[in-house]
Amino acid sequence: MTEVAAAADVLQCLFVDNQLLAEGPLYQHGWLYWVDIKGLALHRLQLATAEHQQRHVPEQITSISPRQKGGFVVTTRTGFGFIDDFSAPLHSLGTVEPALPDNRFNDAKVDPLGNLWAGTMDDLEKTPSGSLYRLTPEHQWQVFDTGYIVTNGPTFAPDGRRLYHNDSVHKQIFVFDLDASGISNKRVFAQLGVDHGHPDGMTVDAQGCLWVCEYAGWGISRFDPDGKFMAKLALPVANVTSCTFGGDQLETLYITTAAKGLTAAELAGQPLAGSIFAAAVGVQGIQGAVFLG
């Protein structure tokens, strides 16, 4: 795969809506789940029948991940919590950053050891007050890195020995060594240039390559395990927010996008902004981990 300049033959729009900030897609048992952070909504789509369900949530839910005990572990604006099923109420574990009222959680994902890694950000996108946290199965959280304006996209190498994380504002993708004690040896994996947008949500495939969604970048870029750019999957919308592999063979890339901040003229030029897409990209993903707490 060297170039995907036009995605019309591999890309399908699954759900049309100008969602403000669709994020965090999760494939589970034939359903695709996602959140609209700014729209205060949790969605799911039955892929075989196109049945769509939506529920309002009283507090921003910013990510959703599977839980071994059933239901989901989630991040909210202020902390961590659990939802026993799609329609259940939220059970909060408490406020994580009470001294930073302008901060909120953003992206999160479970590592192969069953911990949830999640980043906070300045919701005004001005101050480097964001941090990267680990929530253990014992419901203990700890800061492992800090100094971010907007954190995004934690994901893990197939062998579970690396964690990838984004500094979206500075267009940097970092990689850390990962083990049971946490993360170490932070270094730059890739620096995105002027021909790319801002790195947002991301996932890895079975070959160890990184698929990085680009906010204001009109697509998803694929990098090899050494950080070399390989190809870009073009989308008909500018703000591509997150992606995950799903389907029976984990060969479909499911993609969320956003309409937040677009002018009326920009939205007229990209009427599918905020919609949900699927792409047959010709490679297989890996099975996501489950939170053990």
pLDDT string in tens for the chain (293-residue length): 344 444 556 899 999 999 999 999 999 999 999 999 999 999 999 999 999 999 999 899 999 999 999 999 999 999 999 999 999 999 999 999 999 999 999 999 999 999 999 999 999 999 999 999 999 999 999 999 999 999 999 999 999 999 999 999 999 999 999 999 999 999 999 999 999 999 999 999 999 999 999 999 999 999 999 999 999 999 999 999 999 999 999 999 999 999 999 999 999 999 999 999 999 999 999 999 999 99
Sketch the domain layout of the chain as residue ranges.
11-280
Look up 17 and say whether it is catalytic: no
Nearest to 156 by CA among 257, 65, 36: 65
- CATH 2.120.10.30 corresponds to the domain 11-280: yes
Catalytic residue chosen out of the listed positions 200, 205, 224, 248: 200
159 in Cβ contact with 207 (< 8 Å): no
Q: What is the DSSP string of 172-197?
A: EEEEEEEETTEEEEEEEEEE--TTS-
Nearest to 272 by CA among 6, 4, 10, 11: 11
